[in-house]
Amino acid sequence: MGDYSSEVISNIDRDYIAGFLDTGKRIDGRAFNECRNTEIELDVVAAKAEGSALVRLGDTAVIAGVKVLLGEPYGDSPDKGVMMVTAELPPLASPLFELGPPKEPAIELARVVDRGVRESEMIDTAKLCIEPGKKVYMVFADVYPLDYDGNLIDASSLAVAAALQTAKFDEYKWEDGNAVPTGKKLDLPIQNSAVEVTVSRIGRHLVIDPSLKEEMVQDCRLTIAVDKDDKLRAMQKGGGSGPLTLDEIETSMTMAVDRAQDLHKLIKETIKARKKK
């Protein structure tokens, strides 16, 4: 997540990659605004999770699983369900990830992906209420990176969106003070979709969908959540403390909106293809 750079990358690597960019090229041959091959595989945890998706972004792989539980609503929103994104950075996925409780990069990943879902109002939590003040559906979208070659946020955001939009869960109704299953399966109340797109600044160049090597030398990244109507729903500057000019921010927004259109299309087609099966 760009926070590992000092440990691993020398100034030589930095100069090499930045110098390459000065000549208009990225080290893996992509154009500055070109993303890596992007794939969504649905229902990879079909037997246990209510929804699931595996996303590959080049060699980066992330799985998101959705669980729908019953729980009590929060005191300040008694008639709304709960939606939450969590993330771990399991040491299985990279030599850079460590054992132990989630550290800042895992927390940021979860919170940024969560913000994309929440701020786009992807799920209508008002429809996740079984009995006001008593029982609501709690939707957990949990993210597990499996192979980390850069840009976990975008891969995770896409996996979460796909998993949420294809989840099926058991309906419950309120009877005599208890939630009882009706035997019916429901879709989540999806009312929007948002995907996150990350642009890295390396030197004064902006590149989309940074690979691990690029993340390691980046000055910072800007992640932008874009919804179906091209509205910006969340932003996060992170991945280093390098500052951005207003122009760089505006350019990044434009790159993100373009990429988001492709990703929304990819989600739609993937879901359509699944229905045919």
Partner 1 sequence: MSPETKPSFLINPEGLRIDGRRTDEIRPIELKVGVIKQADGSASIRQGKTYILAAVYGPRELHPRHLTINDRAYLRCVYRMATFSVPDRKRPAPSRREREISMVIANALKPALFLEDYPRAVVDVFIQVIQADGGTRCAAINAASLALADAGIPMKTLVPAVAVGKAEGKLLVDLGDEEDKYGGGDVPMAMLGTTGEITLLQQDGSFAKEELVEAMGMGVTAMKYILELQKEALKRAYAKKVAIEGEDVDEYEDDLETDLGEAEIAGEEDE
Q: Which residues from 139-158 bind partner 1, rule CB under 8 A?
A: 140, 142, 144, 146-149
CB of 173 to partner 1, least distance (A): 13
For residue 274, the SS3 value is helix
Which tokens belong to 241? 């403390």
Query: Which residues have a Cβ under 8 Å from the Cβ of 198 and sit 6 or more positions away?
Result: 151, 153, 154, 208, 209, 210, 221, 222, 223, 224
What does the alpha-carbon distance between residue 115 and residue 117 come to, in Å, rounded to a whole number? 5
- Single residue of 220, 255, 263, 267 touching partner 1 by CB under 8 A: 220
- How far is Cα of residue 104 from the mean position of the Cα atoms in its chain? 16
- Single residue of 9, 18, 70, 186 touching partner 1 by CB under 8 A: 70
- Single residue of 231, 261, 268, 273 touching partner 1 by CB under 8 A: 231
Residues numbered 13-52 forming contacts with partner 1, rule: CB under 8 A = 44-45, 47-50, 52
Which is closer to partner 1, CB of 188 or CB of 220? Answer: 220
CB of 27 to partner 1, least distance (A): 16
What does the alpha-carbon distance between residue 41 and residue 269 come to, in Å, rounded to a whole number? 12
CB of 153 to partner 1, least distance (A): 13
Q: Does 244 bind partner 1 (CB under 8 A)?
A: yes
Q: Does 93 bind partner 1 (CB under 8 A)?
A: yes
CB of 68 to partner 1, least distance (A): 6
Nearest CA to 115 out of 83, 93, 90 is that of: 83
User: 92-111 as b/e, with b when 16 or more CB fall inside 10 Å?
Assistant: ebbebbeeeeeeebbebbbb
What does the alpha-carbon distance between residue 12 and residue 147 come to, in Å, rounded to a whole number? 26
Residues numbered 171-210 forming contacts with partner 1, rule: CB under 8 A = 181
Q: Does 77 bind partner 1 (CB under 8 A)?
A: no
Nearest CA to 41 out of 51, 56, 29 is that of: 56
CB of 45 to partner 1, least distance (A): 5
Which is closer to partner 1, CB of 76 or CB of 176? Answer: 76
Binding-residue pattern over the window 247 to 266 for partner 1, x denoting contact by CB under 8 A: --xx--xx--x---------
* Residue 86 near residue 108, CB atoms below 8 Å: no
CB of 207 to partner 1, least distance (A): 18
CB of 31 to partner 1, least distance (A): 22
Residues numbered 121-140 forming contacts with partner 1, rule: CB under 8 A = 140
Which tokens belong to 150? 């850069």
- Single residue of 178, 182, 245, 261 touching partner 1 by CB under 8 A: 245
Q: What angle do CA 60, 64, 68 make, to 5 degrees?
A: 175
